[in-house]
Amino acid sequence: MNILITGGAGGTAQPIIDLLRGAGHSIAIFDISTGGDVRNPDNVRDAMRGVDAVIHLAVNIADMGGDKLTFETNVFGAYNVLRGALDNNVRKVLLASSAPVHTTGEFCSPGEDFAYDLTKCLQEEIARHFALIYGMNIMALRLGHIVDGRRKTDLRGVPLAQVEYCKGGWVCRYDVARAFAQAIDTGFTGYNTINAIGSYQAAGRFDLSGFECRKRFPEY
């Protein structure tokens, strides 16, 4: 299968790329560091040619570039990816969503993460409309805060023993890779959501029936 990965040069993407290539898939990387910008619809549409599936990881976090860049990347970028996939008849779209902002009956938390959380909610709503209106096959994998459970650090290299952010909502990036690899091989149709969170505390807050993580972080 020919698979395009947006944000493919990031720390989340590498285990996904390794796992998919090991399974015999052909991987193309689309990343701003190599000239691929999800904010450019023509750029995205051209990259989708001949693609069977796309994994959309490209994102801007709230403290990098301000709210304007966050919305341009996370909302308009997601729209461009979905429109590009539609125009090129891409069979599957997998979206890296955020589980903490999709708990039942809750809204985005106030504070510095508000803009980021809001854009992740909007991404899913846009994806749901594409699936329902255009008959696309889209899966949103709702991830926890991604860390490296093997090295016992976050993605910036900070030891997990020193990490307080989203404690109780972590997921190892190698479990994230397994989740995307399984999703690629699943014959799903329409719009779907799956929660992927590894920390043992998550079971009391999220529906984790769709995917089981190997790393649970009980020591933290």
Q: Which of 76, 3, 89, 93 is nearest to 40 (CA)?
A: 76
- Domain 2-144+172-197, what fold? Rossmann fold (3.40.50)
Residue 210: predicted pLDDT = 82
Residue 107: predicted pLDDT = 56
Delimit the domains of the chain by residue range. Answer: 2-144+172-197
38 to 22, 69, 128: CA distances (angstroms) = 27, 12, 19
4: β partners: 28, 54
Structure tokens at 117: 């959380």
d(CA 87, CA 207): 33
Beta strands 92-98 and 138-143 are parallel
d(CA 56, CA 36): 13
Residue 111: predicted pLDDT = 64
30-52: pLDDT as tens digits: 999 999 999 999 999 999 999 99
Half-sphere exposure of 191 (CA within 13 A, CB side): 14
pLDDT band at 110 (very low <50, low <70, confident <90, very high): low
d(CA 51, CA 34): 18
Q: Which of 164, 139, 123 is nearest to 53 (CA)?
A: 139
136-190: pLDDT as tens digits: 999 999 999 999 999 999 999 999 999 998 888 899 999 999 999 999 999 999 9
CB 119 within 8 A of CB 79: no
Q: Which of 155, 143, 160, 126 is nearest to 57 (CA)?
A: 143
Handedness of CA 122, 184, 156, 147 (dihedral sign): positive
Residue 63: predicted pLDDT = 65
Residue 122: predicted pLDDT = 94
Structure tokens at 162: 């020193």
